[in-house]
Amino acid sequence: MKETIDYIQNKIKTFKPKLGIILGSGLGDFADNIEGVRIKYSDIPGFETSTVAGHKGQLVFGEVFGKNTVIMQGRYHFYEGYHISRIVYPVKVMKKLGVDTLIITNAAGSVNKKYNAGDLMIITDHINLMGVNPLIGENDSSLGDRFPDMSEIYDHTLAALAQKKGKELGLSMRKGVYAAMSGPSYETPAEINMLRIVGADAVGMSTVPEALVANYCSMRVLGISCITNSAAGVHPSRLCHSEVVETAEKIKDSFMNLLMAVIENI
């Protein structure tokens, strides 16, 4: 960790990020317009190299509406084969750099039958069905407790702000529970049925490890899912990654406008 922090600090000098953003599938462009320092994951000691198509794999440090921000342009997924501790490592690094608020975005399938592709869902809570907890292992007590509370991972005030700004922008806003599966296979219709029964509104393969660790580190968390498709069995058609990318691409501009409006008022 010390080596990671020293390497980054040497690049960003006195810049101290307060806001962190993790950009999901198809949303990476948001960081393209930000002026600042860019550091490739592959250059950072302790970081892995991201592999998913459509994810750039770099940290972008810069000001957004006067707020010192660090953006993860591309994230690590459990299904890529990394140890779960590597997936959440950047969140711990952000905390050590001074980040106290984290916005996490993702692409997700709708489990709730009322939700449609193109909706944006503010995450109110999550269900970890990845089969692994990112805090397993030795605890670094400088970051958080051994047995951290998870009764309010997603900050109510930030969620309300995002809802309000989304509505003002005329976007189709939803809120609900995000269930995380390991992937990389999409779910079966029976699994989606199970997710509905246990109370999920959307399903994806990310976000939960990062949100869990951010909460453990006492960060305020805002999670936003871009609903890219109906989950398996909701409409009897087959699922493909290109459909996910295509929808994400279509609502990218709305999503970016929402992000900007939230950051401006955070």
178: nearest Cα among 220, 134, 121, 133: 121
Residues in the chain: 266
Q: Is 55 a catalytic residue?
A: yes
Q: Is 80 a catalytic residue?
A: yes
Sequence-distant (6+) residues with CB within 8 A of 235 are: none
Q: Out of 205, 211, 214, 261, which one is annotated catalytic?
A: 205
Q: Out of 7, 63, 83, 241, which one is annotated catalytic?
A: 241
Element at 57 (helix H, strand E): none
239 vs 258, which CB is nearer to ligand HPA? 239
Q: Out of 72, 94, 107, 219, which one is annotated catalytic?
A: 107
Which residue in the block uniquely carries the two structure tokens 């970051």? 143
Q: Is 205 a catalytic residue?
A: yes
Q: Is 241 a catalytic residue?
A: yes
Instruction: Report the alpha-carbon distance of residue 157 to residue 44 in Å, rounded.
Output: 34
Instruction: Report the alpha-carbon distance of residue 18 to residue 52 in Å, rounded.
Output: 27
17 vs 204, which CB is nearer to ligand HPA? 204
**Least distance in Å: CB of 203 to ligand HPA?**
5
Interacting residue ranges for ligand HPA, rule: CB under 6 A: 107-109, 186-187, 203-205, 228-229, 231, 239, 244
Give DSSP secondary structure letters for 148-192: ---TT-B-HHHHHHHHHHHHHTT--EEEEEEEEE--SSPPPHHHH
Structural tokens at position 1: 């960790």
Structural tokens at position 126: 């999550």
Q: Is 83 a catalytic residue?
A: no
155 vs 210, which CB is nearer to ligand HPA? 210
Cβ atoms of residues 212 and 133 within 8 Å: yes
Strands 58-64 and 101-110, bridge-based pairing: unpaired
Q: Out of 50, 112, 215, 229, which one is annotated catalytic?
A: 229
Q: Is 77 a catalytic residue?
A: yes
**Least distance in Å: CB of 265 to ligand HPA?**
28
120 vs 217, which CB is nearer to ligand HPA? 120
Q: How far apart are the first and last CA of the chain?
A: 29
* Phi, psi (deg, nearest 5) at residue 2: -60, -40
Sequence-distant (6+) residues with CB within 8 A of 76 are: 48, 50, 82, 86, 87, 90
Q: Out of 63, 80, 246, 249, which one is annotated catalytic?
A: 80
203 vs 221, which CB is nearer to ligand HPA? 203
Q: Out of 1, 7, 63, 79, which one is annotated catalytic?
A: 79
97 vs 226, which CB is nearer to ligand HPA? 226
| Active site residue ranges | 25, 55, 77, 79-80, 107, 205-206, 229, 241
